[in-house]
């Protein structure tokens, strides 16, 4: 069991690091970071107990209080995903069981450490109360979270799939714990097996969070570099529409007897092309990390004239490899990738200026970040934040008041 716990600690640490380093981190993702950190702390405490504590009563009965914050964090993440303007601190009371559990846990540890004659009695009552409080809350709230995600989030959104899967895993832990309570008195060894399964499920939760944010953990063992993939539908549609417009203009300017040949060219041009994947998943992941580091440290995005060729020269990365990585690893065209950095810069400046109560000129910030037109800035700001710049400023003001 200690090996499972050790793996879980490593996975939780890895998940936290990847989420913190992610260029595409949203405000709601801070709650995911808190969740994986709590899982890491939970498993670390268990690893310490199973390694250094010899008392069998403590090994079998001492529950950790950190389990009380898993479902509240997932619940707040769900609400934040449904409504980005939601302020998590407004639901502070969902952590009341966590605070009470922490007080009970440390009180029990203090009693056990002084070898009081009533130590095992205190341990029994702490374990009983915490367990019979935690299980109903986990099961009920997990079902509620699944209901919210299914009915409030877009049908095929990745966030919806993540929330439903995580809530289902926590629900499985709750149900398994109930089964443990029912059958463990008659089958003592079931305690060890059930705990191992619970810790394994916590490992699965951290892995699922990693795959949600990055799409891949490691390079597949049997990666086939010759697999062919279709160009993404969105990119194809954009290219098709642009090409159709150009050809339509050409058709109108050509003699009637030439139009037929042009239409044949149009059909051939708009035919979806198949291509071979050049880079492996791990190679694209390394390129993405290098791009993110360069953009964050050098702020190349603030150059309004930045192009794919220009970025390739600045980072010493083959431009085709950059294009391959952006289009097929993060599913974002070059300019969307760059403009997300620009919007991120504007958001930071808006928050900083709001905290200082300084005057804000949104258009100046747009040009300063690298945009060269007001319309382009407004378009991308709305797409990325789901708010207009003025609405976003009002949200920041509301959070500062809270």
390: pLDDT strictly greater than 60: yes
Residues 333-355 have a mean pLDDT of 90
Beta strands at 228-230 and 274-276: parallel, antiparallel or unpaired: antiparallel
**Any long-range contacts for 90-97 (C-beta under 8 Å, 24+ apart)?**
90/402, 95/68, 95/69, 97/68, 97/133, 97/134, 97/137
Q: What is the pLDDT, as a whole number, of residue 184?
A: 62
Q: Which tens digit of pLDDT belongs to each residue from 154-171?
A: 777 788 889 999 999 999
Least reliable range by pLDDT among 35-44, 304-313, 334-343, 390-399: 390-399
Residues 236-246 as b/e (b if ≥16 CB within 10 A, e otherwise) read eeeeeeeeeee
Residues 117-142 have a mean pLDDT of 86
The answer to whether the CB of 32 falls within 8 A of the CB of 45 is: no
The tokens of 97 are what?
A: 């069981």
Residues 337-366 as b/e (b if ≥16 CB within 10 A, e otherwise) read bbbbbbbbbbbebbeebbeeeeeeebeebb
Q: DSSP alpha helices (H): ranges in 254-361?
A: 256-269, 281-298, 308-315, 319-328, 334-355
Cα torsion angle, 66, 68, 71, 76, sign: negative
What are the residue ranges spanned by the domains of the chain?
2-214, 228-276, 281-401
44: pLDDT strictly greater than 60: yes
The tokens of 116 are what?
A: 């009081």
Q: What is the pLDDT, as a whole number, of residue 219?
A: 35
Least reliable range by pLDDT among 103-117, 130-144, 191-205, 240-254: 240-254
Q: Which tens digit of pLDDT belongs to each residue from 228-274?
A: 333 343 444 444 444 444 444 444 444 544 444 444 444 444 444 44
Q: What is the pLDDT, as a whole number, of residue 338?
A: 93
389: pLDDT strictly greater than 80: yes
User: 229 pairs with which residues across the strands?
Assistant: 275
**Higher per-residue confidence, 29 vs 276:** 29
Q: Which tens digit of pLDDT belongs to each residue from 66-98?
A: 889 999 999 999 998 888 778 888 889 999 999
Q: What is the pLDDT, as a whole number, of residue 273?
A: 45
Q: What is the pLDDT, as a whole number, of residue 214?
A: 59
What number of residues does the chain have? 402
Q: What is the pLDDT, as a whole number, of residue 176?
A: 83
Q: Which of 77, 46, 85 is nearest to 63 (CA)?
A: 46
Q: Which of 25, 17, 8, 14 is nearest to 213 (CA)?
A: 25
The answer to whether the CB of 124 falls within 8 A of the CB of 61 is: yes
Cα torsion angle, 218, 222, 226, 231, sign: negative
Q: How many whole angstroms from its chain centre is CA 178?
A: 30
Q: What is the pLDDT, as a whole number, of residue 208?
A: 87
Q: What is the pLDDT, as a whole number, of residue 187?
A: 43
| Residue 357 pLDDT class (50, 70, 90 cuts) | confident
Work out the mean pLDDT of the chain and round it to a whole number.
78
Share of the chain above pLDDT 90, in %: 22
The tokens of 148 are what?
A: 């919210």
**CA trace torsion 80, 84, 85, 91 (10° rounding):** 0
Task: Report the CATH architecture of 281-401.
Answer: Orthogonal Bundle (1.10)
Q: What is the pLDDT, as a whole number, of residue 330?
A: 84
Q: How far apart, in Å, are the Cα atoms of 65 and each of 9, 248, 281, 320, 391?
A: 17, 67, 39, 51, 39
Please check whether the two domains, 2-214 and 281-401, share a CATH topology: no
Q: Which of 14, 73, 71, 77 is nearest to 40 (CA)?
A: 14
Q: What is the DSSP letter of 93?
A: G
Fold that domain 2-214 belongs to in CATH: Rhopdopsin 7-helix transmembrane proteins (1.20.1070)
CA angle 189, 193, 199 (to 5 degrees): 145
Q: Which tens digit of pLDDT belongs to each residue from 175-234?
A: 888 887 777 654 444 466 777 788 888 889 988 888 876 553 333 333 333 333 333 434
**Higher per-residue confidence, 398 vs 168:** 168
Measured CA to CA, the distance from residue 192 to residue 185 in angstroms comes to 13
Q: What is the pLDDT, as a whole number, of residue 191?
A: 60
> pTM score, two decimals?
0.55
| Residue 317 pLDDT class (50, 70, 90 cuts) | very high
Write the secondary structure of 60-76 as one string of H (helix), E (strand) and C (coil): HHCCCHHHHHHHHHHHH
The tokens of 84 are what?
A: 């980005």
Give helix 158-183 / helix 119-152 axis angle, nearest 10°: 150
Q: Which of 161, 166, 162, 158 is nearest to 138 (CA)?
A: 166
């Amino acid at each position: 069991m200690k090996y499972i716990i050790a793996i879980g600690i490593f996975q939780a640490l890895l998940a936290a690091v990847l989420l913190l380093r992610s260029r595409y981190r949203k405000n709601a993702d801070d709650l995911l970071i808190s969740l994986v950190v709590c899982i890491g702390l939970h498993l670390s405490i268990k690893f310490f107990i199973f390694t250094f504590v010899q008392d069998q009563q403590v090994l079998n009965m001492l529950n950790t209080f950190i389990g009380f914050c898993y479902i509240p964090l997932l619940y707040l993440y769900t609400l934040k995903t449904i409504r980005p303007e939601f302020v998590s601190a407004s639901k502070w009371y969902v952590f009341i069981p966590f605070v009470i559990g922490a007080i009970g846990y440390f009180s029990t540890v203090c009693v056990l450490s002084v070898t009081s004659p009533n130590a095992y009695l205190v341990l029994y009552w702490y374990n009983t109360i915490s367990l019979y409080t935690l299980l109903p809350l986990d099961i009920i709230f997990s079902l509620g979270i699944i209901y919210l995600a299914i009915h409030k989030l877009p049908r095929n959104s990745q966030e919806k799939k993540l929330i439903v899967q995580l809530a289902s895993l926590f629900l499985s832990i709750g149900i398994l714990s109930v089964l443990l309570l029912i059958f463990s008195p008659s089958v003592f060894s079931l305690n060890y097996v059930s705990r191992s399964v619970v810790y394994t499920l916590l490992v699965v939760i951290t892995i699922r969070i990693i795959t949600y944010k990055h799409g891949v953990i490691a390079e597949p063992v049997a990666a086939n570099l010759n697999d062919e993939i279709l160009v993404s539908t969105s990119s194809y549609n954009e290219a098709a529409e642009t090409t159709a417009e150009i050809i339509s203009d050409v058709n109108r300017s050509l003699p009637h007897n030439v139009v037929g040949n042009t239409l044949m060219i149009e059909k051939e041009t708009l035919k979806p092309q198949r291509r071979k994947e050049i880079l492996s998943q791990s190679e694209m992941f390394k390129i993405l990390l290098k791009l993110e580091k360069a953009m964050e440290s050098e702020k190349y995005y603030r150059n309004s004239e930045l192009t794919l060729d220009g970025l390739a020269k600045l980072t010493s990365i083959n431009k085709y490899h950059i294009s391959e990585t952006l289009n097929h690893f993060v599913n974002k065209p070059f300019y969307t990738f760059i403009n997300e950095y620009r919007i991120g810069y504007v958001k930071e400046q808006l928050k900083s200026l709001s905290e200082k109560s300084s005057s804000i000129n949104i258009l100046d910030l747009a040009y300063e970040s690298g945009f060269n037109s007001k319309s382009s800035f407004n378009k991308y700001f709305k797409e990325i934040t789901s708010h207009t710049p003025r609405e976003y400023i009002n949200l920041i003001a509301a959070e500062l008041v809270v």
